[in-house]
Structure 1
Amino acid sequence: MEAPPTTPDRTPGTPRPAAPTLSVVVPMYNEEDALVPLIDRLRPLLDGLGEPYEVVAVDDGSRDATPELLHGARRMWPQLRVVRLRRNAGHQAALTAGLHRARGAYVVSIDADLQDPPEKIVDMLALARRDRLDVVYGVRSDRGTDTGFKRGTAGAYYWLMRRLAGAWVPRQAGDFRLLSRAAVDILRELPEQQPVYRLLIPSLGFRGGEVDYPRAARVAGETKYPLRRMVRLAVDSVTNFSAAPLKLATWLGLASFLFCLLMMVFGLVAYANDVTVPGWASLFVAVLLLGGVQLICLGLLGEYIGRIYTAVQQRPTYLVAEDTADAPAPPAPGPAADPDPAARPAVSR
C-alpha cells in the first residue's frame, strides 16, 4: 500500500505512453558502487531484445550518491525510470513499490548487486512465452560464492519453509523472477502489509517454471541482508504463512503442565516417605522452566497480535517521493543544434 504520488502528473491532454513489453524492477539501497556495472550489463541486454522496455530503479532511501547517479544515468538512458521512496522502507517494500508501478506485460525483479545474472532475463522471457507461464523463478543451482554460514542458513530457511508452509515453496529461489501482467495485477489487489514474495507468489498457485543459474559474487559494496535482516525475514516468513508457532506455544504449555504434574507426584511420594529435605534446587529449576515457557508463549502471541495491529492500522508501508514517469525525460547531453544563420541577429562592429 502506498500514498498517492506527490509529484505532478503529466501535462493534461498528453497521452500516456504505450505500455512496454518488459519492465525490470531493481530495488536499490546504497548501491553507488554497483550502479555502473549494473547498467553496463543490463542496458545492452535489454536494447538487444528489440522490444519496448523500462527499467524501474527503486531508490529505497539511499544515503550515498545512488539517487544522483540514477538521475545522471537517466539523461543517457531514456528507458530508465527512477522511483524514489521518502525513507528506507526495506527490500520487500521497495520491491512492492516497483511491482505496483511497473507497466510492462512482463515484469522481472532483480537485485542491483549482480549476484543474479541479468542475461537470464532473456531465458525467462522466452520460457514464459513458449509455455504461457505466469511466473518463472530464478533458482540458484550453485551458491559456491557464498560463505559457509550463508549457505547453511539459506538451506535451513528453505527446508523450514517447505516443512511449515508447503512443498510448493521453490528451493533456493529468491527475488529474481519474472511475472506476467496477470500475476502482477493480482499481487496489487492483495492486502499484504509485510509481503514475503518468495513465499507469497508460489502460494497463489500460478503456473510457473524455473531457470537455473550459479550465484555469482557481489559485484561491489556490502550485503543488504546481514544476520539481523535474515532473522527478520525468517520471522516474517513463518508468521505470515504458518500458525505453527502458535501450536508450538500450545505444546510447550502442555509439556510444562505435565512436568508440573510429575513434580507434584514426586513431592507427594517424598512427603509420604518423610524424605522432604528442604532445598532450593528443584524449586529454582521449576520456576525457571515455567517462567521461560510462559515468556516464549507470550512472545509468539505478541508477534501475531502485532501483525493484526499493523493490518488494522492500514498505514502505507512506503511513501513515494518521486517517480520520473510523472515528469518529461531530460534531454540527452550533446552539442546544441546550430540555428539558422539567417535567423542570427546582426552583430555591429
Structure 2
Amino acid sequence: MGQQDPALSVVVPMFNEEGVLPLLAERLRAVLDGLAEPYEVVAVDDGSTDATAAGLRGLRERWPQLRVVRLRRNSGHQAALIAGLMRARGGYVVSIDADLQDPPETIADMLALARAEKLDIVYGVRGDRSSDTAFKRLTAGAYYRLMRRLVGKQVPAQAGDFRLLSRAAVEALRDLPERTPVLRLVVPWLGFPSGEVHFLRAERAAGRTKYPFSRMLALAVESVTSFSAAPLRVATWLGLLGVAVCALLVIAVIVAYALGHTVIGWPSILLAVLFLGAVQLLCLGLLGEYVARIYTAVQARPAYFIASDSDPAETDPGDTAAPGQRRADDDPAVLADSRR
C-alpha cells in the first residue's frame, strides 16, 4: 500500500438500488466521517438497469470519498463483491449490502474489535432475523447447518457477506485460483484470527430482495459443490442402497417361486425399475455438477469485466479482476479511462 491509501475501504455491491441510495449515503457517510480517518467507499454497480448509475454519479459530486466501479454487465452479487474487494486499497476492507439490513453503524465496532484484538477477520453475525419471513429464516438456518456440517464449525452461523477483512486476508483471497469463490466458506477456510460482532437485522430499507429462492438454491448448490465432495459420497451410498434393495427383491422372488406363488409381478418390477432409474439419475446429476465446475474452470472465463472506475489512479499492474482472473490493466476500458 502507498502512503495515500486509506485506512478503511467499504465495498458495496449493488444492482438496481436507486430507491435506497440516498438513505444509504446518509447513514454510511455519517458513520465513516465519524471515524476521523481516511476512508473510501467502493460502490460496485453490477450492471443496474434503473437509475442507480446516475444516482451514484450525483452522490460522487458531493462525496469525494466515493468511488464508483461499473461492471459491463450483471455478473451476480458474488462477482460484484469480489470486484470491489480486489480493487479496494484500504488497510481494512468491509463488505456490506446496499439494502441497509446490515447496519452501517456496526462498522465502527468491527474496526475497533479488529484493532484491539489484532484480528484479520471480523464477521457481522445476525442476532435476530425477525424481520425476515418464516420461510427465509427456515431456509437460511438449513443452509448454515449444512455448511457447518460439510465444511466445519469454523463457518459462523448466521454470518452473511457483512464482514471486515484485513489487508493480509484480502491479499490471501487475491492469491486463490478459484474463478468465483463462495466467500462465506472461503473466508473462514483461510484460518486467519477472527472475531464476531452481533447486530439486529433490519428490514430492507427500499426496493426488493435480489436473493429470491432460486438464487438462494443456486448459492447452496454452488457452496456444496465448490467446497465438498460429500455429494459424491451420497451417490455412492445411494448406489449401495440400490444394490441392497435389489438383493432383497431377488430373495423375495426366489422365495415366492419356491412356495409356488409365482404370479404376474408387474408392480414389483415397476417399483424396482423406478427406484434404480431414480438412483442412477440422481448420481448422474451429482456427477454433472462437478463436471460442470471442471468445465467452467478449464474455460477460465473472467467472472466479470470492469467497464470503468471513477478513480483515475486505478492502474496498478498488480490489480486483478478476480482471484486468478485477468488484471484490471488488461481491460481496454480501464486503460482508456486512465489515459484521458
SS at structure 1 position matched to 2:261 = coil
Q: Does 1:208 align with 2:194?
A: yes
Question: 1:207-246 maps to which residues of 2 (within 5 A)?
Answer: 207-246=193-232
Name the larger-Rg structure: 1
Q: Which whole-Å deviations, capped at 9, do the CAs of 1:184-208 have from their partners, x for residues lacking one?
A: 0010110112211111100110100
Question: 1:1-349 maps to which residues of 2 (within 5 A)?
Answer: 18-326=4-312
Q: TM-score, normalised by structure 1?
A: 0.88
- Is the 1:27–1:94 contact (alpha carbons within 8 Å) kept by the matching residues of 2? yes
Aligned length, in residue pairs: 313
SS at structure 1 position matched to 2:41 = strand
- Is the 1:24–1:108 contact (alpha carbons within 8 Å) kept by the matching residues of 2? yes
Q: TM-score, normalised by structure 2?
A: 0.90
Query: What CA RMSD, in Å, does the superposition of the two structures yield over aligned residues?
Result: 1.2
Alpha-carbon distance, 1:253 to partner = 0.3
Taking the aligned partners of 2:128 and 2:30, their CA distance within structure 1 comes to 26
Q: Which whole-Å deviations, capped at 9, do the CAs of 1:273-315 have from their partners, x for residues lacking one?
A: 2211013111111110000000000000000111111111111
Q: Percent identity of the aligned residues?
A: 67
- Is the 1:194–1:236 contact (alpha carbons within 8 Å) kept by the matching residues of 2? no
Match of 1:343 in 2: none
Q: Which whole-Å deviations, capped at 9, do the CAs of 1:58-98 have from their partners, x for residues lacking one?
A: 00111100011101111111110000011111110000000
- What residue ranges of structure 2 are gaps of 5+ in the alignment? 315-340
SS at structure 1 position matched to 2:195 = strand
Q: Which whole-Å deviations, capped at 9, do the CAs of 1:86-122 have from their partners, x for residues lacking one?
A: 1111110000000000000000000000000000100
Letter in 1 for 2:49: R
Letter in 1 for 2:142: A
- What residue ranges of structure 1 are gaps of 5+ in the alignment? 1-15, 329-349
Letter in 2 for 1:200: V
Taking the aligned partners of 2:167 and 2:109, their CA distance within structure 1 comes to 18
Structure 1 stretches of at least 4 aligned residues deviating more than 2 Å after TM superposition:
none
Taking the aligned partners of 1:97 and 1:132, their CA distance within structure 2 comes to 26
Taking the aligned partners of 1:230 and 1:41, their CA distance within structure 2 comes to 28
Match of 1:7 in 2: none
Taking the aligned partners of 1:275 and 1:305, their CA distance within structure 2 comes to 47
Match of 1:339 in 2: none
SS at structure 2 position matched to 1:183 = helix
